[in-house]
Structure 1
């Protein structure tokens, strides 16, 4: 009986030590840096700057080079990039890392080091990569090594710009009711469009869309539907007459297939989108073909959305808008 009591007391002591150790690590993470207070964002992310950087700040859509060390609150290491020869390259806002890191990188400057405390709601991994304990709070040390410079259109010579053939290029849209049992489809025209090329490969592009050319071509409720799409509760084309798609990254899978990351601006709201595309050359002309889906709520188009209005029932419209793009160059 005495032996059992001793064992229970020993176990209690060990557990108590573990609790104190975890608390100690958490306190050290919070307190042992030059700046004492964490900033808490609206999403629940906590961060503080422990070393200042210099230069331009990180924005959505930029590629950055970072080193990171990730830990659980008990100080066990989840991952570190410090043993790599090269830093990690991350597309900020491109769903390549957890949401907490995407947010934590915003506003950083070259050479800056930040500590992040990422709650479970912001620590879900994207794609197939998962943490062993997905509902854990994560602690990050992140150093910004640099921002990858991208060539802008004005820096690219005329020989490296391929303009689209507007007459033979098409942008088709399709929308549905909430259950996808019925819908409408149509087209919208380009004002201009061009691809940027380096060493015989497309590296970017920018395309301006005339939102006032929205047309319904399925024959159902055509004029009434188009009027509504142009109205202020949808695309509001009087106030926002153009949309823009800017390709910020192309990840080639092989010679003719690539993963495209782009900024899509609708109603003056810019959001990153990602989609696959086929890029081929026929008779000296480039052909770019893709299909992708957007969630209109991200661009503040909330009319008759089931995720916003629960009381509309049968009058709900799907949040998804499907696009099919076929671009040919001149």
Structure 2
């Protein structure tokens, strides 16, 4: 009887361990959110949204239990050209003084084709929230240098900036913005810096 009880407890514990998704902290040093657009047909500039802060809940066995929430401080926006960075942060575009962050919060995660994921969520820019769908690839799941569980993802989507109240210079500067995201995230360990 005692053996049976022990076996049942172990099986239940194993089932719970498998069912429990892990919560990861995004690594801002290995996360890039790149926006690119067309400028008068001549070039395709990019801007990086740095200093990303966020958490990722990932369950490989039950991806629908996964989620992501990210904050992009616009103080970390860098268009690689100081004047352009300053202009993008101005009231003509993001109005970073009035709206200091952009945010994304997932509402649904599902399996896509070829082992990819579809992540639907709400993107908020200038206090305007619209649904977007990210096409996501799991790059790798493993362990970080400290032995903590670690994952890496890449994602893409296209948005229309005019839907978020960022409409300056359309159509000469494209309305469509391509977003390319790459990130690494690790399960925080006891003693990690908060």
TM-score (norm 2): 0.74
Aligned to 1:271: 130
Q: Contact 2:158/2:177 (CA < 8 Å) preserved in 1?
A: yes
> Which of the residues 95, 103, 108 maps onto 1:236?
95
* 1:36-68 CA-partner distances (Å, limit 9, x unpaired): xxxxxxxxxxxxxxxxxxxxxxxxxxxxxxxxx
| C-alpha distance in 2 between matches for 1:197 and 1:324 | 20
Once the two structures are superposed, the pairs formed by residues 175-324 of structure 1 within 5 Å of their partners are 175-179=37-41, 181-198=42-59, 200-202=61-63, 203-217=66-80, 222-253=81-112, 256-284=115-143, 285-306=150-171, 316-324=172-180
* 1:280-301 CA-partner distances (Å, limit 9, x unpaired): 4332321110122110011011
Please list every run of at least 4 consecutive aligned residues from structure 1 whose deviation after the TM superposition is greater than 2 angstroms: 197-202, 253-256, 280-284
| C-alpha distance in 1 between matches for 2:182 and 2:165 | 26
| C-alpha distance in 2 between matches for 1:277 and 1:189 | 19
Deviation for aligned residue 1:166: 1.5
Per the alignment, in what secondary structure is the counterpart of residue 45 of structure 2? strand
* 1:311-330 CA-partner distances (Å, limit 9, x unpaired): xxxxx211011211001112
Deviation for aligned residue 1:278: 0.4
Aligned to 1:326: 182
> Which runs of no fewer than 5 residues in structure 1 stay unpaired?
1-157, 307-315
Number of residue pairs aligned between Structure 1 and Structure 2: 159
Greater radius of gyration (CA): 1
Deviation for aligned residue 1:183: 2.7
Aligned to 1:162: 24
Q: Contact 2:39/2:45 (CA < 8 Å) preserved in 1?
A: no
Higher relative contact order (CA 8 A, sep 6+): 2
